[in-house]
Structure 1
Amino acid sequence: MDVQTMAIESVLRGKKILLLEDDVLQAQSLAFELEEYGVEVIGPFHVSEDGLRSAGRDAVDAAILDVHLFDGNCFSVADALMRRRIPFIFLSGHERRAMPDRYRHVPHYLKPFAGDDVTAALSLAVTDRYRHRP
């Protein structure tokens, strides 16, 4: 195990991460990878309503949000997480410029993405708690 992997694992182990992703294969792949780091995955959820319910009810440390879902977008979930000061990152097939301005500070990864990039960004989000958040 390399140094970066060990550092990510030390941050993520035992954390509860909400996963909102409508692509079943990507959701399974992300969940598996997160579990390899010792994460407890909440979800994956495929529609915003389920993610929103979980974001309001479950104790989560951070979240990974697919921007476009079967039932629209994830912005209601993102707003709920922001109100609770829970860090999250976006996954999307669309460029950042298509995102509302209120999410400028949120890490944004284009699909397809490397799993290591996502877990590294997630570990930074968990430790930083968006120090630069407005």
Structure 2
Amino acid sequence: MNFSNLVGKTVLVIEDDYHQAREVAQALETQGIHVVGPYPTVHEGLEAARGAVLDAAVLDIRLRSDDSFPLADELLAQKVPIMFVTGYDTNVIPARFKDLPRLVKPLEGARLPLVLSLTMATTGGRPLQA
């Protein structure tokens, strides 16, 4: 299934597991998305976010010994819609991010474009939080 609102969009991917990163990138690329990354660290993600015009971002929450919350804050400040992909329970997610979309690992590749499409369509290009 293709989602027309994703074609030609630029999406940042932050994921430190090589296989998961490849799966996420491939699932997005099949929708006609230009993938920025995937990057395995918050630092690389912050650099990429500052140097690109992004339509959305897909973030793993835990990146080795760091978490992606500083990057999520930066992206939300830039009005970039984000979604999390994680194996962690909601109790590790700060309250300010509780309403953001989240997919639980292990991923079913077909669900990622669906959730991203809905995220972008329902926010009109704005983050779900005010």
Residue 129 (structure 2) aligned to one of 124, 127, 133: 133
Residue 35 (structure 1) aligned to one of 29, 35, 39: 29
Residue 55 (structure 1) aligned to one of 13, 31, 49: 49
Residue in structure 2 matched with residue 25 of structure 1 by the alignment: 19
Unaligned runs of 5+ in 1: none
TM-score by length of 2: 0.92
SS in 2 for 1:90: strand
What's the Cα RMSD here? 1.4
CA positional deviation for 1:99: 0.5
CA positional deviation for 1:132: 4.8
- State whether structure 2 residue 51 is matched by structure 1 residue 45: no
Q: Name the CA distance, whole Å, in 2 between partners of 1:44 and 1:113.
A: 16
Residue in structure 2 matched with residue 114 of structure 1 by the alignment: 108
TM-score by length of 1: 0.89
Point out 4+ residue stretches in structure 1 off by more than 3 angstroms: none
Q: Name the CA distance, whole Å, in 1 between partners of 2:127 and 2:45.
A: 24
Question: How big is each residue's C-alpha offset from its partner over 1:82-122, in whole Å with a ceiling of 9 and x where there is no partner?
Answer: 10111010011111122100001101111112122211110
Residue in structure 1 matched with residue 98 of structure 2 by the alignment: 104
Amino acid at match of 1:113: L
Unaligned runs of 5+ in 2: none
Q: Name the CA distance, whole Å, in 1 between partners of 2:83 and 2:109.
A: 13
Q: Name the CA distance, whole Å, in 1 between partners of 2:113 and 2:128.
A: 20
Corresponding residue pairs, total = 128
